[in-house]
Chain A
Amino acid sequence: MNDWLTAHGALTPFYAGVIQGAGVTVYTSSLAFVIGLALGVGLLVVRATGGGIARAVIAVYVSAMRGTPLLIQLLVAYYVLPSLLGISISPIAAGILALALNTAAYISEILRGALSTIPRGQAAAARALGLQPTQVWRHVLLPQLFHRAVPPLTNEYTVLLKASSLLSIIAVTELATVARNATLQSDLPLQVFTATAVVYFLMLWCASSVSRVIERYFARLLPNVH
């Protein structure tokens, strides 16, 4: 017990880095989520309207992203992509890229599930009323899609927030890296990682509170859907 009390002072290296580390965690996962959302919508539209080859390519992409560990994807983004493309890439950029490409596959599947719950007649009716295909997506399908997909999408964001801890393995200074470094300095792994777990817990708790606000917003925006 005495250990735990004296540990307070020894946690100083952790306290010094925790705000910045948590900031990087939120920043990387949020940016990756926004990019992944845009890509996921793109994948969905191509998959729903494109030809056989495009659909097959996307199906393989989604299967590969869902079938391999994120850790391997991070290593590929950090070590393989730069040499293939002949560019240099910072760890944080590689991390965000891998997270975004990974989540895009999951998001496109979430949206595909939501799309399948919208009656097919709606798109046909909108076309018959003279809307262009882009207008059908913009005004009829996508708003309903997002409304239905808010709970799984916000869940996907929390998954991403947790998964971003793996960025520590390619030397991005996010929360898990701060914790790891703090244990190397203080040799108090139990205290430091428990504190880290608490910080993650709070961040994820905030994220799920925000998600409930978003859900209510969409419910007000589209009161008559369902």
Chain B
Amino acid sequence: MFIDFDVVEQAVPALLHGLKITAAVSAIGIPLGILVGTITAYMADAQRWPLRAVALGYVELVRNIPFLIVVYLSFFGLPKLGLLASAFSISIGATAFYTGGYFCEILRAAFRSVAKGQVRAALSLGLSDWQVQRHVVVPQIFGFLIPPTVSLAMMMFKDTAVFSVMSLPELTYQSNLMTADTFAYLEVLGTTALIYWGCSVVMEVLGHAMETRVRRWSHQ
């Protein structure tokens, strides 16, 4: 065989170390983005037009600009505005910013799946806004939300590879260091790809499991 397993063995510890940072950025950035997306989704349906304009402008911005440009803007642009932060926190911020725009769209589509009459009926029965969300809207959209949210999370998890360009020592960066050291492109890139692939498959399987559970729960 022409695969050099010694190199693979040598590369794995460094790659797994990089995976920790990839995982940390994803595990903090993506939920943060979901929070941002939730807030902006409610803003997009708000009564006041400035709130709506900000939310919709934000979504259009994220959907129409490549992640790489967002990353460049945050890494090179923020320091110029006097905002100095570590590569790790800027990465988390950029991930959250981008996730938020997409999640806002997902949530808005989910809101539309609940008939407007239900919300009006619940309000006329005397439920507060909060109670309408808690007892009428959210239980119905939960099953609807999971598949697109899982694919969004997978997309952003993979997109964190872009931070290697900014020297965040995550998985792809470690892989680049190893290939520069050993020139064993096949072995190192292959191992890196397998690690990413494995994580994606795990996320997909967990997503499916969650979907079945929620579906069973909402049919009761």
Contact = CB atoms under 8 A, between A and B. Distances in A.
B189 A80 contact: yes
B149 interface: no
Given A176-B69, A193-B72, A83 B186 contact: yes
B171 to A, nearest CB: 9
Interface residues of A, number: 37
A81 to B, nearest CB: 10
B66 A72 contact: no
B197 A197 contact: no
Q: Which residue of A75, A163, A180 has the most chain B CB atoms within 10 A of its CB atom?
A: A75
A79 B182 CA distance: 13
A193 B80 CA distance: 12
B122 interface: no
Interface stretch (A90-98, A115-123, A132-140, A165-173): A165-173
Interface string B47-69: 00000000000001101111111
Contacts of B201: 63, 67
Nearest to B60: A201
B185 interface: yes
B76 A183 contact: yes
Contact of B69 (A71, A80, A193): A193
A52 B189 CA distance: 29
B158 A69 contact: yes
Contacts of B185: 75-76, 79-80, 83
Interface string B187-217: 0011011001111110010000000000000
A79 B179 contact: yes
By secondary structure, the B interface counts as helix
A190 B73 contact: yes
Contacts, number: 115
A165 B60 CA distance: 18
B21 to A, nearest CB: 14
Interface in A173-215: 176, 179-180, 183, 189-190, 193-194, 196-197, 200-201, 204-205
Nearest to A204: B64
Contact of A197 (B65, B189, B190, B198): B65
A73 B121 CA distance: 51
B8 to A, nearest CB: 14
A189 B77 contact: yes
Nearest to A166: B68
B158 A179 contact: no
Interface residues of B, number: 40
A87 B30 CA distance: 40
Contacts of A71: 161-162, 164, 172
A189 B197 contact: no
Contacts of A179: 69, 72
A68 B193 contact: yes
A208 B68 CA distance: 21
Given A68-B197, A190-B73, A190-B81, A201 B164 contact: no
A34 interface: no
A189 B189 CA distance: 31
Contacts of B165: 169
Interface of B: 60-61, 63-69, 72-73, 76-77, 80-81, 154, 158-162, 164-165, 172, 175-176, 179, 185-186, 189-190, 192-193, 196-201, 204
29 contacts: A67-B197, A67-B199, A67-B204, A68-B197, A69-B162, A71-B162, A72-B175, A75-B176, A76-B185, A76-B190, A76-B193, A79-B179, A79-B185, A80-B186, A80-B189, A83-B185, A158-B64, A166-B162, A168-B68, A169-B165, A180-B72, A183-B72, A189-B73, A190-B76, A190-B77, A197-B65, A201-B60, A201-B61, A205-B64
